[in-house]
Amino acid sequence: MKKILAADGISEKGIELLKNDFEVDVRDKISHEELLEIIGDYDALMVRSASKVSADVIERATKLKIIGRAGVGVDNIDIPAATAKGIIVINSPGGNTIAATEHTFAMMMALSRKIPIANETMQRGEWNRKQYVGVELKGKTLGVIGLGRIGMGVAKRALAFEMNVIGYDPYVNEERANDLGVKVVSLDEVITTADFITVHMPLTPDTKNMITLNEMKKMKSDVRLINCARGGIINEEDLAEAIKNNIVAGAAIDVFIEEPIKKDHPLIGLKNVVLTPHLGASTVEAQIGVSLDVSKGIKAALNGEPVTSAVNMAPVSQQVMQVISPYLNLAERLGCTICSIAEGPIKKIEVTFNGEITNVNTSLLTTAIIKGMLNPVLEKEVNYINAPLFAKERGIKITEVKQKESTDFANLIIVRAEAGGKECSVKGTLFGNEGRIVEINKFRVDVDPHSRILICPHINRPGVIGAVGTFMGKNGINISDMSVGTTVIKGTSLMVLTIDNDIPAEIFNEFKKLDVIFDAKLVNFYAV
């Protein structure tokens, strides 16, 4: 009988689902050393966040076929190591959505009515009725940064409380959001006009420190901030300073850069601050839900059935995989690139395959493009299973076209997007086994999309390359490669720089002001 190890306090409901067919060992508290010692005996592993399924654990997992994370995040699992060994990794992408949504709203209400401090003083026998006067939610403007499942769930509840709801999400379908009663606006409008601001974005290099003291100074003086998404989106040091100096009226924070937080954390002890220890998913129902989700996935995998919540790979025949596998990485990077160059929310994607690759089922490559397009911008982990669903939820129409003949390359992938009333495009192919971007918005280029690239349309005249290189060198940014492409538009070229290190926001904004370029788009391939 196949054996399953259930660690970290998995809900009994999920374990019961497996006991009839498998041998389940429950080890609620297990050290890393113990896990290393016994993992070789098990066919499946269930964890929450406590156990670290690192590369050394996976190396010793000689029988392991699947790892199930009872929750959304999979940061505690070495996915590349698991994938390299053929181990499926699954999670529960929707099992705690309601719990996180309700906790966000509970935090907002507790903050607005000063419930935590009122309870604390009452428990000490004090009666400070006049001291703890709150504010009503009705008629206030809630700004939602990130309009995914949780963000839209919070928005729906806010509308029921007769709040005005505005939202920022560069990748949400504006028409769908408007139908639900949410007005889609710019990030700056959310920051400057909202009475309450709640963030629901994933933590990426683009969203880390999205809200700093600079943004807080632009906000209303009575604004209140809520973060139940990811620690680090709101800068914690800056938030503490803003509250101390009455720049921000209050904050409710459930997630932190380092967890658990230290006793000298700058937000501890401040007035008008509500802190909870990452309780967003901590409900009985959520724990049961994620446990059942993962148990069903493990049962299917051990029985040789398709798995619908795989984080690292979708089922595909070995014959098809041999043909398309060299293109998967390129396809995700093409999706990431089209996401970065689109001027507004993407409404339609057309993927065209040219050449010999059209002889096989290319749907997984289309999914890879969608995954690359959505992964950097959603608070959920996007994988080969849920990427089409997330695109559908956002009203993005996906079409796939196959053309047997290819004029310039043996095989070519073309991605066209409609966004903001404009069309943008990117093309890619393989040189040997290396993916290359060969065209961006009709400019012919030759780009290795290995880490991050900077796309700059510019005036075709002497001195442009020198000005750009000088600026980058002056600011310590190394350029490892450069491609300059031209198009039929005279006087216009496209420069694509391969950048070795991150560009701080202030330097990037300064770079875009150079008079020799028209614009600049930074593409980070961190999520693909």
Name the residue among 374, 281, 231 with its Cα closest to residue 72: 281
User: What's the first-to-final CA gap in the chain, in angstroms?
Assistant: 37
The three state secondary structure string of 27-80 is ECCCCHHHHHHHHHHCCEEEECCCCCECHHHHHHCCCCCEEEECCCCCCCECHH
Active site residue 259: yes
Instruction: Please state whether 196 falls in left (phi above 0), alpha (psi between -120 and 50) or beta.
Output: beta
**C-alpha–C-alpha distance, residues 528 and 524, integer Å:** 9
**C-alpha–C-alpha distance, residues 172 and 344, integer Å:** 9
Q: Are 255 and 229 in contact (CB under 8 A)?
A: yes
> Tokens representing 512?
């875009």
Active site residue 265: no
- Omega of the bond leading into 260 within 30 degrees of 0 (cis): yes
Residues 6+ apart with CB under 8 A from 413: 327, 330, 331, 334, 351, 352, 353, 354, 357, 365, 369, 427, 428, 429
Active site residue 278: yes
> Which of the residues 16, 259, 285, 356 is marked catalytic?
259
Query: What are the helix and strand counts (H, E) for the chain?
Result: 17, 22
How many C-beta atoms lie closer than 10 Å to residue 305's C-beta? 11
- The helix or strand, by DSSP H or E, that contains position 333, with its residue range, turns out to be helix 318-341
Based on C-alpha coordinates, what's the Rg of the chain? 25
**C-alpha–C-alpha distance, residues 335 and 59, integer Å:** 32
**C-alpha–C-alpha distance, residues 418 and 396, integer Å:** 10
For Cα atoms 236, 202, 242, give the angle at the middle one, nearest 5 degrees. Answer: 20
Residue type, 71: G
Residue 212 Cα distances to 230, 346, 453, 511, angstroms: 15, 28, 25, 21
> Which of the residues 60, 278, 444, 450 is marked catalytic?
278
Q: Mind telling me the catalytic residues?
A: 230, 259, 278
